[in-house]
Amino acid sequence: MSMMELDREYVAGTYRRFPVEIVSGQGSRWVDDQGKTYVDMGSGIGVNAFGASDEVWRQAVTEQLGKVQHTSNLYYTYPCARLAQLLCEKTGMKKVFFANSGAEANECAIKVARKYSAEKKGGEYFTILTLVNSFHGRTLTTLSATGQECFHSLFQPLTPGFVHAEANNVPALEKCVEENKLAGIMLEVVQGEGGVVPLTGEFLQAAQRLCRERDIPLMIDEVQTGNGRTGYFYGYMAYDLQPDIVSTAKGLGGGLPIGACLMGKKVENVLTYGDHGSTFGGNPVCCAGAVTVVERLTEDFLAQVREKSGYVFKTLENAPGIENVTGLGLMIGIRTTAPAGDVVKLCRERGVLCLTAKDKVRLLPALNIPMEDLTFAVETIAQAAKELANL
Ligand SMILES: *Cc1c(COP(=O)(O)O)cnc(C)c1O
C-alpha cells in the first residue's frame, strides 16, 4: 500500500488533504517525500508562528522534554506559571486557564461568561451572542457558537443558548442584545474561517459599549488572530478594545497543541476549585515552547509583521486576476477571478503551499518568513491568478 492509500484506509475521512506528503521543514520551507521544496504560506493553519523546526523554540522544547514531559495539574511546573505571567503582562489580563486547542479555550470562555452572568444576574442569563459567519470550533458547544449553518445540520441537537447577529450591522446587534438575556458577546476581530473578513472598528466599539452598559462580558476569540498574527500581539489591540475574556490557541504553542483562556479584572475570580480542568492543560513542554513564541513578539518584531503585510497587500491589490485582498497583518484572504482551488493547485505545482477560506485563497505564513521566500510566494500567486484568469 502506498503511504496515501494507507492514510485513506485507516484515518477517518474528515479531511480533504492536498496530495503532498510533508517529511520535514526548516523555517518557511517544507520538503515532501520526493525531495521537492515548497515555500509554506500556511504554517499549519497559523500554528508554526516561527516556522518549521525553529531553533529557539526547538531548544526550549527539547530541554523541557529532557526534564519531564508531563506532570498533570496536581503539581506546579515553571513553564506553565511563566507563560501565564507573560500573557497577563502583555495584555493586562489577570488570570489564565490552559487548555489544548482553540475549541477548548472557547469552552472555558463560555463557562466563565455563563458563571459570571448567572451569579451576577440570575441563571436565565445564559445566552451567548456570536456573529453570523463566525467560527469558534468543532465541539458541540463551540459548533453552537459558530454562526454557519453548514457546520450544524448533521449534529442536532447542539448546546442551547446561542444567538447569532449579523456582522458589521450595529442596529442588528443592538436589537439582538435587547431581545436576549445575554451571558456574553463573543467575536473574532477578523473572521478567519469565514473568509478572512475584518470587522469594522465602529461595530467592535459598539459591541464593547453595549457590553459595558449592560455588564455583559466581552469575549474575543483570538484563536487565529492572536499571538502576533495580525501584526499586533492580539488582534483586538488593533481596534483599541479591552475585552473581559480572550481565548487563543493556534500560533501560541509554535506548533505544539495549547490553548488559553485569559480572564480580565471583571471575571478574574469567577473560576474556583473544581469549576474547570484539563489533564493535559498547561503541559510543560507545550508551555516551554509557547514562552519562546510570546517572548519574541516584541513591538519591533510586530512592526516587521505589519511591514511584510503591507508588501503583500501592495503587490496583490489591483493585480490582474485578483478582485480584492482582505485581512490584517499576515492573515490574508485573496479573492481571485479564477476559482481559489485552481490557484492553490497551480501554486503548489510551482512550489508554493497556500490555504483556502470559503472561496478565497488564504495566507497564514510564519510570522518570521524571510522576505526572499515571501517575495517568491507572492509573485507565484500573482502569476497563477493572472494566468488562470486568461489575462
Ligand atoms: C481554528 C479556530 C478555532 C478552533 O480551534 P481548534 O484548535 O481547531 O479547536 C476556534 N476559533 C477560531 C477563530 C479559529 O480560527
248 lines ligand 1 (CB under 6 A): no
The rounded mean pLDDT for the chain is 98
Residue 252 to residue 257: CA distance in whole angstroms = 9
Question: Greatest CA separation found in the chain?
Answer: 63
How far does the chain reach from its first CA to its final CA, in angstroms?
42
Ligand 1 centre from 175 Cα, in Å?
28
Atom in ligand 1 nearest the alpha carbon of residue 221: 13
pLDDT of residue 154: 86
Q: With b meaning 16 or more CB within 10 Å and e meaning fewer, what string describes 159-178? A: eebbebbbbebbeebeebbe
Ligand 1 centre from 188 Cα, in Å?
10
- What is the band of 149 on the pLDDT scale with cuts at 50, 70, 90? confident
Q: Please write the tens of the pLDDT for every residue from 188-246.
A: 999 999 999 999 999 999 999 999 999 999 999 999 999 999 999 999 999 999 999 99
Looking at 3.40.50.720, 3.90.79.10, 3.30.530.20, 3.40.640.10, the CATH number of the domain 57-296 comes to 3.40.640.10
| Phi (first) and psi of residue 341, to 5 degrees | -60, -35
pLDDT over threshold 90, residue 351: yes
Ligand 1 centre from 249 Cα, in Å?
7
- What is the band of 153 on the pLDDT scale with cuts at 50, 70, 90? confident
**Is the CB of residue 128 less than 8 Å from the CB of residue 161?**
yes
226 lines ligand 1 (CB under 6 A): no
Location of C-alpha cell 483556502 = 356
Ligand 1 centre from 35 Cα, in Å?
31
103 lines ligand 1 (CB under 6 A): yes
193 lines ligand 1 (CB under 6 A): yes
**Hey, whose CA ends up nearest to atom 15 of ligand 1?**
224
Residue 221 to residue 247: CA distance in whole angstroms = 5
Atom in ligand 1 nearest the alpha carbon of residue 191: 13
Looking at 3.20.20.70, 3.90.1150.10, 3.40.50.300, 3.40.50.920, the CATH number of the domain 3-53+299-388 comes to 3.90.1150.10
Residue 362 to residue 167: CA distance in whole angstroms = 20
**pTM given for the model:** 0.98
Point out the least confidently predicted range of 146-150, 249-253, 282-286. 146-150
In 20-169, which residue ranges form alpha helices assigned H by DSSP?
43-46, 55-65, 78-91, 102-121, 140-145
Atom in ligand 1 nearest the alpha carbon of residue 137: 4
pLDDT over threshold 90, residue 150: no
Length of the chain: 391
Mean pLDDT over 339-349 rounds to: 98
**Dihedral over alpha carbons 188, 195, 303, 301 (to 10 degrees):** 80
**Hey, whose CA ends up nearest to atom 6 of ligand 1?**
102
**Hey, whose CA ends up nearest to atom 8 of ligand 1?**
102
pLDDT of residue 97: 98
Domains of the chain by residue range: 3-53+299-388, 57-296
- What is the band of 309 on the pLDDT scale with cuts at 50, 70, 90? very high
pLDDT over threshold 90, residue 151: no
Q: Please write the tens of the pLDDT for every residue from 19-71.
A: 999 999 999 999 999 999 999 999 999 999 999 999 999 999 999 999 999 99
223 lines ligand 1 (CB under 6 A): yes
Q: Best substitution site from 45, 104, 143, 193 to test ligand 1's pocket, by max atoms within 8 Å of Cβ?
A: 193
Ligand 1 centre from 136 Cα, in Å?
6
